[in-house]
Amino acid sequence: MALNSTMKKLFDSKQYKEALNLFDQNFKISTDSTIDMAIKACTISKDYKRGIRIQQRLS
């Protein structure tokens, strides 16, 4: 749960790159909520390649 709340704080303060770095470091314990925030952060920051990589890791 700490990952979710920390990512939400970073996301809400528009620190998308930091949120994505945290997500990458903790991918193995990610939840649907953190994955959703990571994909949204990729979209907002226009880091589409990173979003595609996240989706590939999930399949």
Q: Which domain holds residue 25?
A: 2-58
Q: What letter does residue 38 receive in the DSSP assignment?
A: H
- Number of structural domains found in the chain: 1
CA terminus-to-terminus distance, the chain: 23
Is the pLDDT at 1 greater than 80? The verdict is no
Q: What are the backbone angles phi and psi of residue 37, rounded to the nearest 5°?
A: -65, -40
The number of residues in the chain equals 59
| Per-residue model confidence (pLDDT) at position 31 | 94
What are the tens digits of pLDDT across the range 23-55?
A: 999 999 999 999 999 999 999 999 999 999 999
The separation between CA 31 and the C-alpha centre of its own chain, rounded to angstroms, equals: 10
| Per-residue model confidence (pLDDT) at position 16 | 97
Distance CA 9, CA 53 (A): 23
Global pTM value: 0.90
